[in-house]
Structure 1
Amino acid sequence: MPYLVDPLMSPGCLSQQTQPALSAGSGLVLRPWLPKDAARVVEVFRDPAIQRWNLRRADSEEEAREWIKQWQQGWEEETAAHWAVVDGTRDTALGRVSLQHLILMSGQAKISYWTAPSVRGAGIGPRAVATVAEWALGEAGFHRIELGHSTTNEASCRVAVKAGFALEGVRRKALLHADGLHDMHLHARIR
């Protein structure tokens, strides 16, 4: 059955190239995840705030390496794009930014992120999220990037606003967390 519209992004537009490393300025680099980052993922996921706002936990380096393998496959399959946010000098993972739920037909994706407890409040989250959004809406060719977070996660809301994502509304009882269903803010940036 033929489509009535042309896709905004062609299949292969991502997977036929190497996932780029992105500079977020001041020595902050976003690069694809590597198996060597597994220990850092486990360490960060021990943080109570990470456990509160994420739906999974990392119990072992082996499990984290499997996640990283899946994150790498996301690029190849054009279903997701995951970056480690690293200190360009030490190459230590300070956070993560991901484009997920890619819809190439309409050029849409959802962005998610976390930062390690030791660097929260230093502006790394907003810089990293804005960098990926600018790449996605520019060079990559996406049309719309959505960002969602619990309405009770004020820190995440600050990241969204600082990264240029306009608040569009509230999705009622939209995501199940460990403590129950949460209302979710919906933010977005468009091309």
Structure 2
Amino acid sequence: MPSKIPDVVPPGALARTQQPRIPAPGGLLIRPWQAADAPAVYEAFQDPVIQRWHARGAESVDETRDWIEGWRAAWAEERDAHWAIADATTDAVVGRISLRLIVLGDGQAEVAYWTMPSARGRGIAPRALTTLSDWAFADVGLHRLELTHATANEASCRVALKTGFAPEGTKRRAVLHEEGWLDMHLHARVREDGPTGSR
């Protein structure tokens, strides 16, 4: 039975193009991951803050290299899109940002991010998130981006609010972590919200 509603974004919109390199304000570059980034990812996942909010840990650089291979493959499969946030001058990894759970037909995805411990306090996550969100709306044509974080993760909540992701409620006992089931705040931006003023 044919759908009465056309796809918001047609299949192939990502896969038929190369994953882009996106400049961000303040000397940042949002770029595809490369194998040489594996030590930086491993280092990030030794950080207690990142460990607290993630369901998996990294036991070796080889393991994170495998993650990167999977992240790169996800672009062609149009299910997720993962980027390193890098210093535009040195190319050093300062964070990670992703579009997860992409559903092109519905024009939706979920954003996720983290910042290297040594790079925190410099506004990297808000600048990268604003830049990637604007690109997802303007260049890809997505309609809605969601952002979820544990209710206890106040730093992530500040990033969401600063970048125009409006709070929409609490998803009770939504994610299982080591400490048990966590309540999650749900935030979202839609294309009609327009660009944020945080850049």
Q: TM-score, normalised by structure 2?
A: 0.94
Secondary structure class of the residue paired with 2:105: coil
2:114 aligned residue: 114
Return 5+ residue gaps in structure 1 as ranges: none
The aligned counterpart of 2:88 is 88
The corresponding residue for 1:171 is: 171
CA distance in structure 2 between the aligned counterparts of 1:96 and 1:105, rounded to whole angstroms? 25
What one-letter code is carried by the residue in structure 2 that aligns with 1:190? V
**Pairwise CA distance, 1:180:** 0.8
Alignment deviations for residues 80-123 of structure 1 (CA, whole Å, 9 cap, x no partner): 11110000111111100000101111100000000011111210
For residues 7 and 140 of structure 1, the distance between their equivalents in structure 2, rounded to whole angstroms, comes to 13
Distance 2:21 2:164 in 1: 21
Task: Indicate the SS of the match to 1:105.
Answer: helix
> 1:101-149, CA deviations, whole angstroms, 9 ceiling, x for partnerless residues?
0111110000000001111121001111111111001111100000000
How many residue pairs were aligned? 191
CA distance in 2, matches of 1:141, 1:43: 34
Deviation by residue 1:26-59 (Cα, 9 ceiling, x = unmatched):
2100000000000000011000001000111111
Task: State the 1:3 CA deviation.
Answer: 1.5
Map of 1:141-156 to 2, 5 A cutoff? 141-156=141-156
Corresponding residue for residue 101 of structure 2: 101
- Match status 1:185 vs 2:185: yes
Return the letter of the residue paired with 1:9. V
Distance 2:64 2:31 in 1: 17
TM-score in terms of structure 1 length: 0.98
Paired with 1:108 and 1:80, the residues of 2 have a C-alpha distance of 11
Runs of 4+ aligned structure 1 residues displaced above 2 Å come to none
Q: Counterpart of 2:65 in structure 1: which amino acid?
A: R
Distance in 2 (CA, whole Å) between partners of 1:72 and 1:180 is: 31
The answer to whether structure 1 residue 127 and structure 2 residue 116 are counterparts is no
Q: CA deviation at 1:4?
A: 2.0
**Alignment partners' CA distance in 2, 1:104 and 1:122:** 33
SS at match of 1:160: helix
Question: Aligned AA for 1:62?
Answer: D
Write the distance in 2 (CA, Å) between the matches of 1:36 and 1:124: 21
Identity %: 52
Bigger CA drift: 28-37 or 113-122? 113-122
SS for the counterpart of 1:42 is: helix
CA distance in 2, matches of 1:26, 1:113: 17
Instruction: Work out the CA distance in 2 between the residues paired with 1:168 and 1:110.
Output: 14
Instruction: Find the aligned partners of 1:23 and 1:178 in 2 and give their Cα distance.
Output: 36
